[in-house]
Structure 1
Amino acid sequence: MVDFKVVVSDRKAGRAYNIEASGAAASAFVGKKIGDKVEGAALGLAGYSLQITGGSDRTGIAARKDLPGAGRRKILLSKGFGFHPEHEGERRRKTIRGNEITQDFVQINAVVAAYGEKSMDELLGKAEAAEN
C-alpha cells in the first residue's frame, strides 16, 4: 500500500498543511507529473484543485520538473534546483529523480490552484487551532 505525506501550500493564507494520503487518496497522485493538477476531493478538500510542484523519495532525493521519467538519474548540474554551486562555474554530477510520481515517493508538494467554498481549516478540522 502506498502512503504519501502531501504538503499543500495555501499562498493566499500564507500557510502550509501536512496531509497524510494512503489508499485511494495516494493512488490519485501515482502516475501524475510535476505540474499536473489533481482534484482535492481525494484528500478531503472538496471543491479544491491542487497543482503538484515537487516531491522527494525515502532517501531525500528530490524530483525535478524538467527531467522526464520516473526513476533516478545522475545528471550534470551547473545551477538550479538540486544543486547550489559553491564556486563560479562549478558543475557537479548529482542524483535527481524524474518528474513522474511513483510509489517510491514519500513526500509530495502541492499548491492550491483553485479554491472551494469552505476554508481549508474547516475541511481539515483545524478551525479550533486557527481561532486560538
Structure 2
Amino acid sequence: MPEFKLVISDPTTGKAEQIELKGDQASRLIGYKIGDIIDGGLIGRPGVKLQIRGGSGRAGEPMRPDIPGARKGYFLLSGPPGYKPKEKGERRRRYVRGNTITDDVVQINLVIIEGSQASAQQS
C-alpha cells in the first residue's frame, strides 16, 4: 500500500501544513501528474481545490514536470528543480524522476488554488 507525505501550501497565509496519507486515500493519488488539479475531498479536505506542484522519491530525487511518465534516471539538466548551476550555461547529469505519481514517491507538494484552509479545517 502506498504512503505519502503531503505538503499543502496556502498562498494567502504563507503557511504550509504536512499530513500523511496511507492506504486507500493514498492510492487515489497514483497516476496524477505535476500540474493536475485535484479535489480536496480525495485527501479529506472538502471544498478545496489543490494543484500538484512537485514531489520527491525514496532516494530524495525530485520530480520534474518536463520528464513524462513514472521513470527515473540520470538526465542532463541546466536548471531547477534538481540542479542549480553555479555558472551560466553549465549543465550536469542529475538523478531525477518523472512527473507522474507512483508508489515510489514519498512526498507530494500541493498548493491551494481555490477555497480556503480555514474552511477545510472546520469540516
Fold shared, TM-score > 0.5 on shorter chain: yes
Amino acid of the structure 2 residue aligned with 1:92: R
Distance of 2:116 and 2:46 partners within structure 1? 7
The one-letter code sitting in structure 2 at the alignment partner of 1:83 is Y
RMSD over equivalenced CA pairs, Å: 1.6
Q: Which moved more, 1:33-42 or 1:72-81?
A: 72-81
1:104 and 2:104 aligned: yes
Segment of structure 1 superposing worse, 22-31 or 52-61? 22-31
Match of 1:51 in 2: 51
- Which residue in the other structure is 1:85 paired with? 85
Residues of 2 paired with 1:54 and 1:81: CA distance? 9
- Match of residue 37 from structure 1: 37
Query: Structure 1 residues 41 and 25 mapped into 2: Cα distance closer, same or farther (>3 Å)?
Result: same
Give the greater-gyration-radius structure (CA). 1
Whether the aligned pair in 1 keeps the contact of 2:57 and 2:107 (CA below 8 Å) is yes
Post-superposition CA distance 1:45-86 (Å, at most 9, x none): 111111100000111000001110101021111223211112
Q: 1:104 to 1:118 in 2, by over 3 A?
A: same
Are the aligned partners of 1:6 and 1:19 in contact in 2 as well (CA < 8 Å)?
A: yes
For residues 1-132 of structure 1, the aligned pairs below 5 Å read 1-115=1-115, 118-123=118-123
**Runs of 4+, deviation exceeding 6 Å:** none
SS of corresponding position for 1:64: coil
Partner amino acid for 1:43? Answer: I
Identity value in percent? 46
Question: What is the TM-score with the length of structure 1 in the denominator?
Answer: 0.85
What is the number of residues matched between the two proteins? 123
Gaps of 5+ in 1: 124-132
After superposition, give the CA deviation of every residue in 1:5-55 in whole Å (9 maximum; x if it has no partner).
Answer: 000001111110101111121112100000001111122211111110000
TM-superposed deviation, 1:88: 2.8
Q: Counterparts of 2:41 and 2:60 in 1: how far apart (Å)?
A: 27
Whole-angstrom distance in 1 between the partners of 2:105 and 2:90: 29
TM-score, with length taken from structure 2: 0.91
SS at match of 1:119: helix
Residue identity in the other structure for 2:115: Y
